[in-house]
Amino acid sequence: MATRGATASGFDTSGRFAARAEANTWTCPFCSLLCDDLALDANDPALAATTCPRASTALAGLKLGDRAAVGAHIQGRPASLDAAITHAARLLASSRQPLFGGLATDVNGARALVKLAGQCGAICDHANGEPLALATRVLHDQGSWMVTLGEVAARAELVVCVGSDPAARHPRFWQRIDIARPGSPLRKVRFVGLKDDAALAQQRLRAVTTSAGDPADAASGDASEAGNAATATAEAGAAITSATAAAVASGHAAELDVQALASGADVFDTLQALALALRPRPPASLDPAWLTLAAELRASPYVCFVWEAGVLPRHGELAAAAVQSIVATLNQTTRAGSVALAGGDGAATAQQVHTWLTGLPLRTRLASEPGGRIEHDPIEHGANRLLTDRGCDALLWVSSITALAPPAAAAGLPTVVLGPPALAPADGANAPEVFIPVASPGLHHVGHLFRSDGIIAMPMQAPLNSTLPDVAEIARRIGAALTPAGGSA
């Protein structure tokens, strides 16, 4: 692993933006970090869990070796690709309100799906639509101070992780901000209101900064061992507990000071306490630990808050808004920003493409007739709600990055699945109406995916051979075959 090569991008002769990659470069598509410092062996497309447990599991789930020859299916029976496309087009044409869900695809696939959605008046929502909508609501309501991973790597002296350990679901987060390199400006990490185990979070972080450890080992390690590595202390008389670990990095230029505060506490309450501590005259009753953290934040030349919309509790937008308020306060006297870890499985890509093509984010009903009404509703047009309330009568489910099946709430709904061969129906009873196998971006075809920071579109490579069509091609062919209900497709 860990060979980095150059990647070039440009418009091909059909006007599509395409990536061309040199050998030995691979950008992992399996979470929103899109690590581009790895390599995948075409003869043995697997990744060790010690490199990244999430990517390792996703690759295994695609069953790349044994399902490659799977073809299209109609009602669970093998069918030609042409017949499956015609059947899918008829199903969408006869639907009064189709839903396009999943939406795990690259930029070209997302563009073609938005066009198809416009042809049949569909509502689009991503499989991770809930956290995406949460982050969008905060952006609408008060704006967000977002920074790129490169900015964090280059400037952050203090990182505050709110509500979760980023490495629990994004295993190479600390590597992505390059904390082990000599010259890294990072000196302090604070975990605030962790729901994950605080000692494990510290152990994962230590594993990155020391040559002995690995995040995957740490993730599966013994928490009590982590507790030994840390020096646990309790703030006398306070509901807040903290644990302090000093991790001396083998390659890191200086000692890294790691603390966890208020683990297990309500994340919004912890952020409220921190906001109060940052006031010119904080309440006298406030726990001193918050005053100490507030002083650290003010004294730091660059602070970055890291949060994950997907693990915030119900009404998590209140916590996300509190983070942005704290960042705004700090920016009056020092520099601060935030990184929202969301947008995996092509969610950030789907959101960006939908917004630039329609002027509105996902959860918008597109109009199939010229001059028709386009309607955005971040709550009523959520995929789970539509499926549960039967607010839609057909589903086009797209999952070309991981083998993610349609949600259980879609059972019984006429469904077209565009997915990897691993999603092919095993039996007729639970089969979707139509299944069409598609290639995966970043494995079988080149393309682009947007990273969690929503700014960087990463070129994806195609280390593996495949004769399967990509999502963009299938969406275009369904669109070409689409005729109004009653017509011949």
For the CB of residue 111, give the shortest distance to ligand SF4 in the complex, in Å: 23
The interface with ligand SF4 within residues 160-179 (CB under 6 A) comprises 170-172
| Count of chain residues binding ligand SF4 (CB under 6 A) | 12
Comparing CB distances to ligand SF4, the nearer of 72 and 219 is: 219
Which listed residue (52, 107, 200, 424) binds ligand SF4 by CB under 6 A?
Answer: 52
Dihedrals phi, psi of 195, to nearest 5 degrees: -90, -30
CB of 31 to ligand SF4, least distance (A): 3
d(CA 136, CA 448): 22
- 152 counts as binding ligand SF4 under rule CB under 6 A: no
* 28 makes contact with ligand SF4 (CB under 6 A): yes
Nearer CB in complex with ligand SF4: 385/444: 444
How far is residue 168's CA from residue 163's CA, in Å, rounded to a whole number? Answer: 12
CB 254 within 8 A of CB 179: no
Out of 26, 54, 270, 474, name the contact with ligand SF4 by CB under 6 A: 54
Q: How far is the CB of 441 from ligand SF4 (least distance, A)?
A: 13
Supply 346's token pair.
């092509």
Site for ligand SF4 in 238-297 (CB under 6 A): none
CB of 288 to ligand SF4, least distance (A): 36
Q: Which is nearer to ligand SF4, 85 or 311 (CB)?
A: 311
Angstrom distance (rounded) from CA 58 to CA 404: 10
62 interacts with ligand SF4 by CB under 6 A = no
Stretch that binds ligand SF4, among 50-58, 99-107, 253-261, 317-325 (CB under 6 A): 50-58
Task: For ligand SF4, give the closer residue by CB, 208 or 247.
Answer: 208
Q: Does 33 bind ligand SF4 (CB under 6 A)?
A: yes
Least distance from C-beta 457 to ligand SF4, angstroms?
15
CA 435 to CA 78: how far, in whole Å?
Answer: 9
Residue 256 neighbours by CB under 8 Å, 6+ apart: 179, 186, 187, 188, 189, 205, 209, 246, 247, 248, 249
48 or 374: CB nearest ligand SF4: 48
| Residue 240: both structure tokens together | 């807040």
Structure tokens given for 275: 């906001």
CB of 39 to ligand SF4, least distance (A): 11
Q: For the CB of residue 34, give the shortest distance to ligand SF4 in the complex, in Å.
A: 5
Is 34 one of the binding residues for ligand SF4 (CB under 6 A)? yes
Residue 464: CA atoms inside 13 Å, Cβ hemisphere, count?
22
30 binds ligand SF4 (CB under 6 A): yes
Which stretch, 31-39, 274-282, 325-333, 433-441, contacts ligand SF4 (CB under 6 A)?
31-39
Q: Does 330 bind ligand SF4 (CB under 6 A)?
A: no
Asked whether 202 and 168 are in contact (CB, 8 A), the reply is: no
Identity of the residue, 59 or 277, whose beta carbon is nearer to ligand SF4 in the bound complex: 59
The separation between CA 417 and the C-alpha centre of its own chain, rounded to angstroms, equals 21
Query: Based on CB atoms, which residue is closest to ligand SF4, 122 or 218?
Result: 218
Of the candidates 454, 366, 440, which has an alpha carbon nearest to the alpha carbon of residue 398? 440
- Considering the rule CB under 6 A, would residue 31 count as an interface residue with ligand SF4? yes
Contact criterion met (CB below 8 Å) for 149 and 121? no
- The dihedral over CA atoms of 288, 291, 293, 296, expressed in degrees to the nearest 10, equals -130
Contact 1, 9 (CB under 8 A): no
Q: Is 35 in the site for ligand SF4 (CB under 6 A)?
A: yes
Beta-bridged to residue 189, according to DSSP, are 159, 258
CB atoms < 10 A from the CB of 335, how many?
18
Amino acid making up residue 173: F
- Give the residues lining the site for ligand SF4 (CB under 6 A): 28, 30-31, 33-35, 52, 54-55, 170-172
